[in-house]
């Protein structure tokens, strides 16, 4: 059993004021009406009003603000031109989420190599590894 998981029995649930039998009974007698007992209306929402997509100049200005923030937080000033080249090389920047078509990429498949063993790794070590990876990747891209 993992440290972050434990099983709760009916006795503890009853102590907390949760009556499992009553909830199951209510679920069994629940009408087919979609809105019965639901505090929120399930009627169709109105589609959002069409907004104009941000212009290239607006997106460029927003990305420049991000670059300035990176400089303020310790990004090396001598590598800012290379950073600009990288961030403007691809059309991936959005000021708000839109109804873009899905990316046309093959699905990622992950398989263990022959003879490899699955290992559980602590989250703290994994995050530290990813931090180091991104720092090294950024340095490699900028050199």
Gyration radius of the chain's alpha carbons: 26
d(CA 132, CA 128): 6
pTM: 0.41
- Encode pLDDT of 11-66 as tens digits: 777 777 788 888 888 777 766 555 555 555 555 566 556 667 778 899 999 999 99
Is 67 in contact with 80 (CB distance < 8 Å)?
A: yes
- Encode pLDDT of 90-124 as tens digits: 888 888 877 778 888 888 888 888 888 877 766 67
Look at the block and give the residue holding tokens 């001598």: 78
Which alpha helices (H) appear in 32-122, and where do they start and end?
Answer: 56-72, 80-87
Domain ranges of the chain: 54-96
3-state secondary structure of 54: coil
């Amino acid at each position: 059993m993992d440290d972050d998981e434990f099983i709760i029995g009916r006795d503890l649930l009853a102590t907390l004021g949760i009556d499992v039998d009553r909830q199951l009974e209510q679920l069994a007698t629940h009408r087919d009406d979609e809105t019965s007992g639901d505090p929120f209306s399930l009627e169709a929402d109105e589609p959002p009003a069409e907004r104009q997509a941000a212009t290239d100049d607006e997106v460029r200005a927003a990305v420049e603000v991000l670059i300035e923030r990176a400089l303020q937080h310790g990004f090396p000033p001598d590598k800012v031109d290379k950073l600009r080249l990288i961030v403007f090389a691809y059309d991936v920047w959005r000021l708000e989420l839109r109804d873009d078509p899905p990316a046309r990429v093959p699905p990622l498949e992950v398989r263990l190599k022959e003879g490899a063993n699955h290992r559980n790794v602590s989250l703290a070590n994994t995050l530290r590894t990813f931090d180091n990876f991104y720092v090294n990747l950024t340095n490699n891209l900028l050199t």
